Copies of this chain bind each other. A is one copy, B any other.
Amino acid sequence: MDPQVEYVPLAEYFKVFSEPNRLAVLEALHDGPLNVTAVVDKTGLSQALVSKHLKLLTIAGVIERRPEGALVFYEVLDQGVFQLVAQAEQLLLASRRQQLDALAALF
């Protein structure tokens, strides 16, 4: 991270992952491409909502939209996003541990 950089684009990118249902949609695509209805079934979210999240993920360049006949398939472009998510999970766990330790240290 450079000193006087604009953090707007980076913040926008993080924002992509800052919504629970959007993470669920992304996870639904973890094991391969799915069409919209399949994502709807897998997540239990409404069709309109799934379409919205898929569009956002597409615009962000995280997934790719591929129409096939009457269906539209979506696929994760760079598997690295799952590393990012995994790393965030790690940090989250670590920070929880730390907070418990800090709490315990009060006694």
Contact = CB atoms under 8 A, between A and B. Distances in A.
Interface of A: 1, 3, 6-15, 17-24, 27, 30, 60-62, 77-78, 80-92, 94-96, 98-99
B61 A95 contact: yes
Main secondary structure of the interface of A (DSSP, over half): helix
A101 to B, nearest CB: 11
A64 to B, nearest CB: 8
Contacts of A91: 13, 78, 80-81, 84
A11 B95 CA distance: 15
Most buried by B among A14, A30, A92, A94: A14
Most buried by B among A62, A78, A86: A78
A88 B23 contact: no
B80 A90 contact: yes
Contacts of A19: 11
A26 B20 CA distance: 24
Most buried by B among A23, A60, A82, A83: A23
